A and B are shown apart, each in its own frame.
Chain A
Amino acid sequence: MESLPLYAQLINLLASVLLLLAFAMLAQRRVVTLIDLFAAQGLALACSTAIVAYATAQPHLYFSTAITLVLKVAILPWLLHRLVQRLDVKWDVEGLINVPTTMIVGLVLVIFSFNLAVPISQLANTVTRATLGIAMATVMLSFLMMITRRKAIPQVIGFLSMENGLFFAATSATYGMPMVVELGIALDVLVGMLILGVFFFQIREQFDSLDLKHMEKLKEGEAE
């Protein structure tokens, strides 16, 4: 394997860290640690964007880095911590299927994404295109996390982590996206968070718990 320039190697490394964190979130049971892992993921993302900005001399990516840092490493985790404290959902999160099975499914998804990405990444013309597979794998794993969790907060974190993966795919495959697109996505995510926050309060008031299986009761009420 011919040696890549230093920035490409660093981006590869940060990509692996991203995947590692996605996997760790899949296996994690405590909500507080989950939020911290999400913050770490945001940090890795910001670093990789900064490196791409430096290496390809695109100053507008520095703004992306700043936004990512402020939003994903500072504001969102702080909001989520406060939410967790207000809603009092600190204890262990149990999934629909047990942790080892989740991880095996996760591994299968990773193999699937890697294989899918190999022909696609031939089309891109960046040095870091091999990380497209990792970005897709992160998206898949976050989706899996959303599916297999029972409480609401981990589902939100899965949603946000999916967005992390997509953002990383964009920076690695195309060296960033137009500012408009990026601001649009960021706004979507922020609005989504606000709506979900409102939702959680309503759910909590209705059922006195954030366990989403209570939502199934709504169906039975209708069926009468």
Chain B
Amino acid sequence: MSARGGGAAGVLRAKAAAFADREYWVRLVMFACAAISILAILVIFVFIFRESLPAIRDVGIGNLFFSTNYNPQTGHYGMLGFIWGTLLTTFGAMVLGAPLGIGTAIFLDQIAPERTARVVRRGIELLAGIPSVVIGWFGLILLVPFLARVTGTAGYGVFAAVLVLVVMALPTITTLSAETLKSLPPELEEASVAMGATRWQTIYKVLLPSAREGLLIAVILGMGRAIGETMAVQMVIGNSRGITFSLFGRTSTLTTRMVTEMAEASGVHRSALFAMALVLLLLAVLLILVIRFVSRERKPAA
């Protein structure tokens, strides 16, 4: 709105010029492409929500999300047992996977000779690319029989799922942790070593505390992978409908229940499975919010 343009006519002329301008259109198209990400998440939310509405209406929020009674034949769709299954397997996978992943990252960054580190890094990238059905099949034909022999149980269950999830989440945790360690200013390490600290003291007292937020984000994203993993877990967890508190109990997670029953589900049953997808969607958004929060905390310190 220039003062020289002379009122409404000037504004109109400026707008007309903008419309004629190809740059304007190009920019608009590019923006539309970028905005597809916003649209996609909205449409996904709307559709998953719409499909889960019948279950929310018929079963009720309490009986759907906060009950462990799940039995489609009798019309009970309480998914709390599967939410618990998801949390339990994810937690177990992080207990084993976080030290292993962060440890491997430290090994790559601080300890391994250059060439070894490069080979290991390639290997981890390769591990990230192995399809989940392949890892699941590996778990089914090797891990489950092995666990069955060692523990005297069926082999299927929470612990087998945890081990499979460790493999699935390991590349994410390791790669992101290694990136965080690499991005630390070299002066930190140099100062510590110059003061006479050993390598372990430097890692433990200087590097790990400075990388804290980045490592936390790496573990949270690893959790994201563990929560969402479907096929590999479905093949080894035993797929029972009950809730379990035992490491070797059979159970289900949200994802495995969805994939197991979707084929023959209809009506409220199908809608209840969509409600599980809704829970997973909210969990994913929650994880991203937590990461935003953690990385905002980091900024003032840097």
Answer whether A and B are interacting partners.
no
Binding site for B on A (CB under 8 A): none
Instruction: List residues of chain B with CB under 8 Å of any chain A CB.
Output: none
